[in-house]
């Protein structure tokens, strides 16, 4: 497969002079078209910063990020973003929330409503099309956020700890939902988490980041066959990989202390 995302010796600093804080230093990686990559690491390692740089929400201090061979310069139409917090507009119905990006793009109303309804069916929310976000559970609200990102048909879905605020059972359900959707939609997914089991359940490859400043400690390929379920988390292959990732993360934390 061809590389869809290329991060080439990227650094990011905030501030200037003696007060400057380096959030990322000399990060290089690539993500193939259709791949599911997870950024994993402790708080302060630059996971979300790197995701925002790929999204074009922030600019690099050094190096370059390319998407489909083109340097990132602001938001790219082929990139969709899902955040941890629920980002639906409370005054709009579920259908209108999903159609909002299409409206901004100038898509005629009949076409955008038809597309929103198709996506609602894909994410199993058709019967809630006329509901408002406050009437939905947390998991359903995140499905709306994912559906809204999918509405503009991006090739890349960037997800910043999207299930972090959910309870444990809903989180497991959403992990399974996301993998099924990824298989159906054939999108490239880059997903941020600090949860080791979540990373193993979801990823083709796990990019382990270390802090102060953020940089790549290791990129780990997940060879556990799909589909992966929560029932496998105590299998020997899963526990061995969990142990390896814990050693990496906690070893880095000890060095940084």
Q: Does residue 152 register a pLDDT over 60?
A: yes
Looking at the structure, do residues 235 and 112 belong to the same domain, yes or no?
A: no
Looking at the structure, do residues 176 and 120 belong to the same domain, yes or no?
A: no
Beta strands in the chain (DSSP E): 3-14, 21-32, 36-40, 62-67, 70-71, 79-82, 156-160, 188-193, 205-210, 215-221
Looking at the structure, do residues 146 and 165 belong to the same domain, yes or no?
A: no
Looking at the structure, do residues 149 and 172 belong to the same domain, yes or no?
A: no
Pairwise CA distance, residues 209 & 46, whole Å = 7
Q: How far is CA 19 from the centre of its chain?
A: 30
Looking at the structure, do residues 73 and 106 belong to the same domain, yes or no?
A: no
Average pLDDT for residues 209-219, to the nearest whole number? 93
* 161-170 pLDDT, tens digit each: 999 889 999 9
Q: Does residue 85 register a pLDDT over 70?
A: yes
Pairwise CA distance, residues 45 & 37, whole Å = 17
- 40 CB neighbour count, 10 Å cutoff: 25
Looking at the structure, do residues 59 and 178 belong to the same domain, yes or no?
A: yes
pLDDT, position 184: 92
More confident residue, 78 or 175: 175
Looking at the structure, do residues 38 and 90 belong to the same domain, yes or no?
A: no
Torsion angles phi and psi, residue 27, rounded to 5: -95, 130
pLDDT, position 257: 54
Q: Does residue 44 register a pLDDT over 60?
A: yes
Q: Does residue 251 register a pLDDT over 80?
A: no
pLDDT, position 18: 78
Domain boundary among 153, 177, 193: 153
Confidence of residue 8 (pLDDT cuts 50, 70, 90): very high
**DSSP state letters, 201-247:** HH-SEEEEEETTTBEEEEEEE--SPSS--GGGGGSHHHHHHHHHHHH
pLDDT, position 59: 94
Looking at the structure, do residues 74 and 91 belong to the same domain, yes or no?
A: no
At 124, list the tokens: 């199993």
Average pLDDT for residues 214-219, to the nearest whole number? 95
pLDDT, position 238: 97
- Total domains in the fold of the chain: 2
pLDDT, position 108: 94
Q: Does residue 236 register a pLDDT over 80?
A: yes
pLDDT, position 165: 86
Average pLDDT for residues 118-141, to the nearest whole number? 93
Q: Does residue 197 register a pLDDT over 90?
A: yes
Give the domain range for residue 42.
Answer: 3-78+158-256
Closest CA to 45 of 208, 247, 209, 199: 209
Looking at the structure, do residues 105 and 180 belong to the same domain, yes or no?
A: no
At 144, list the tokens: 């709306």
Domain boundary among 153, 185, 201: 153
71-75, 117-121, 168-172, 214-218: range with lowest mean pLDDT = 71-75
C-beta separation of 101 from 152 below 8 A: yes
Q: Does residue 175 register a pLDDT over 90?
A: yes
Confidence of residue 253 (pLDDT cuts 50, 70, 90): low
- Residue 204's domain is classified under what CATH number? 3.40.50.300
Looking at the structure, do residues 142 and 208 belong to the same domain, yes or no?
A: no
pLDDT, position 256: 56
Looking at the structure, do residues 29 and 91 belong to the same domain, yes or no?
A: no
Closest CA to 171 of 148, 149, 144, 198: 198
Looking at the structure, do residues 69 and 182 belong to the same domain, yes or no?
A: yes
* Burial tier of 224 (Cβ tally within 10 Å: 0-12, 13-18, 19+): middle
Domain boundary among 98, 132, 153: 153
């Amino acid at each position: 497969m061809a590389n869809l995302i290329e991060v080439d010796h990227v650094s990011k600093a905030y501030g200037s002079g003696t007060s400057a804080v380096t959030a990322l230093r000399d990060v290089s990686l690539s993500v193939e078209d259709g791949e599911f990559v997870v950024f994993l690491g402790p708080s302060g390692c630059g996971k979300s910063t790197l995701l925002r740089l790929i999204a074009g929400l922030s600019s690099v201090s050094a190096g370059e990020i390319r998407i489909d061979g083109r340097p990132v310069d602001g938001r790219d139409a082929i990139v969709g973003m899902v955040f941890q917090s629920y980002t639906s507009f409370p005054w709009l119905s579920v259908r209108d929330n999903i159609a909002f990006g299409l409206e901004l793009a100038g898509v005629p109303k009949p076409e955008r409503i038809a597309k929103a309804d198709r996506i609602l069916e894909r994410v199993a929310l058709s019967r809630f099309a006329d509901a408002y976000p406050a009437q939905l559970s947390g998991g359903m609200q995140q499905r709306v956020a994912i559906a809204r990102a999918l509405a503009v048909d991006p090739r890349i879905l960037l997800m910043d700890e999207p299930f972090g605020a959910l309870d444990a059972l809903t989180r497991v359900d959403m992990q399974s939902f996301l993998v099924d959707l990824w298989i159906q939609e054939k999108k490239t997914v880059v997903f941020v988490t600090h949860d080791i089991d979540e990373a193993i359940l979801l990823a083709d490859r796990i990019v382990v980041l270390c802090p102060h400043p953020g940089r790549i400690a290791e990129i780990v390929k997940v060879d556990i066959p799909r589909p992966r379920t929560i029932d496998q988390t105590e299998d020997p292959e899963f526990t061995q990989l969990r142990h390896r990732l814990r050693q990496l993360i906690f070893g880095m934390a000890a060095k940084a202390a």
